[in-house]
Structure 1
Amino acid sequence: MKYLITGTAGFIGFHLAKALLERGDTVVGIDNINDYYDVNLKYARLENSGIEKDRIQPDQPVQSSIYPRYRFIKMDLADKAKLLALFNEESFDVVVNLAAQAGVRYSLINPDAYIDANISGFLNILEACRAFPVKHLVYASSSSVYGANTKMPFSTSDNVDHPLSLYAATKKANELMAHNYSHLFKIPTTGLRFFTVYGPWGRPDMALFIFIDAISKGKPIQVFNHGKMKRDFTYVGDIVEGIVRVADRPPVGNPDWSGHHPDPGSSYAPYKVYNIGNSSPVELMDYIGALEKAMGKKAEKEMLPLQPGDVPATYADVSDLMRDTGYKPDTPVEQGVANFVAWYKEFYGG
């Protein structure tokens, strides 16, 4: 199979590309390598996949020196003409769209970036899949779409019309846009609501990275909502396994779907939404405890209130994922955190 993966300089995209290449698929990866966080980490991910930084030029394919079936192109999804030309040239079987402006709190500071990347960029992906049909479009949604919902665990059959951040709103918009294209143009689309992904090569703006950096430097860590938070922390390897299994199974439409009692997670059209989470919420203080154990060092804690846009708890119902793919994420937090700490110390020499 030939895959297009957007966001392959990113955290999940980097891991996914390697997983697909190692099972024998062909991958074209694109990323605009923006400076939302340290671009050196993004280039290091690419170089780990055999894409040398010095060879990267805008819109020019770079062949991996490690994987014969991998090419990378520095490209922005906002450039519709170049994206369409790429689709025309390559004839992709599957598209996995992971490129996005990430971060809940940053959406309060720079909202325009979320419209450009998450709405306009995704529209260009949909239009490309319309013009040059693919067997399956898989795209990243987010657990943040559950917003003000308090019924646990979060189910894809729940209404998600009350997002608490613009980031969440753009991810919900992606699901609506995908359904429209599945309905009108019969494009098989699957949205994946990721739950608090962590692990080696993670983003510097995420809690685990921020915590370990502060602890390593002897600085206090900021613990929001006074530690009264639960997260369905999900190891990146489990996320990737879930993506691969879903990508291999394009939706065909739910024959039991009814407009009288519409299920938001499926449709008569070839459209589906899944949660991918560990389905085992962990207290924030226990997560910090796992990090302290792995580092062999205690953290100084600064207790703070809940931040705007944050939710106090997440908990994934993954029954649909288990039923349809036979898979459920299961990496224990202690193991996942230890893997991250080992990578961090090797990468940064801590």
Structure 2
Amino acid sequence: MPKIYTFLIILSFTFLNVNAYNDGLTDNFTRGKAAVKSISTLTFGPEGILFIGDSKSGSVVAIDTEDKEPNNSKKPFTLQNVEAKIASLLGTTSDDIIIHDLAANPISQNLYLAVSRGDASSVGSWKLPNDINYAQILLKIAPDGHIGEVSLDNISHSIANIPSPKQEGQRNWRKSDKRTETITDLAYDNGKLYVAGISNEEFASSLRILPFPFSDQSTFSTIEIWHAAHGKFETEAPIRTFLPFEVNNTPQLLAAYTCTPLVSIPISALKQGNHVKTKTLAELGAGNIPLDIIKVNASGKDKILIANTNRTLMSIDPDDLSKHTKGLTEKVNGYSAAGVPYTSIPQVGVLQIDNLNQDFVVALKRMPNGSLDIISIPSKRV
């Protein structure tokens, strides 16, 4: 074969491979109104894509934020009295503002908030924002403190329905509609979106796996835990917050529940129709709802950080996870902790956390004077 033809063939294959490699995750998105009925929970994926868990509609919406300008700053971010500033933007008062979730864009360090208007004083230890109202307002806070609304009326997006969403009309023990717990948390990892919540199945606690970019395929599993504080197996309570994480080189989901078991779930067990029994790694203390969990790189070492309603921030060393091979199988009395140990970080009133940059964790915190502030916590202190 002449050298010129060989060169052209090689060039053609190279061109095709480059095109395949550059196919973006948003190529199948459509532009228009994203019909989001509730912004139940937020998380970021790659390419500045924001995932919105919508319990009311029983779907997940992937939003192309077009927020891809890199910010390499390692500076902290603080913003005092966030409710009052949002209220001023929306033309209301701070006691009419409820913040449901916070997510930091790892590319730009812009913060995204899910917000509703309602009686903020109703939110407390046993009443979460999603129990009070459905959030329908998405806000963005820039590193300079500017707050603006993100319109979903004409935006590039993709929607996936989740299997077996919880029907409306039934009440949970907090006297709120169980539909609000259809999606309690989201996490993106390695081309998959994990969706925790409850379903209409007999064993209500469930995990769905949606491949991303979205397709017609999904995986649905029900989850059973040993609840050490209650001294029994449970299948109804939803995962409140979770994190993909490797334990002993095995991909797992670390999931925390109300009152407060921390369990590990092998990702390999999450197959269509499977009922999965988890391993209870720790009881972190009854009378508490875990609100958020993230992985933090603290001075070159990974730590797991958990925010709670009625506890301090908790830091867990992943090395301790691998030591608890059996898991808890007995009842833990009172408000005691057991299993994997944790370190209390001297921060209380923290409602949401996320990694801001390499050096800081950003947190939404209720201050002693009642103000709701955004603060930064040095990662090395976790």
TM norm structure 1: 0.29
> Does 1 or 2 have the higher relative contact order (CA < 8 Å, sep 6+)?
1
Give the structure with the higher percent strand.
2
Give the structure with the higher percent helix.
1
TM norm structure 2: 0.27
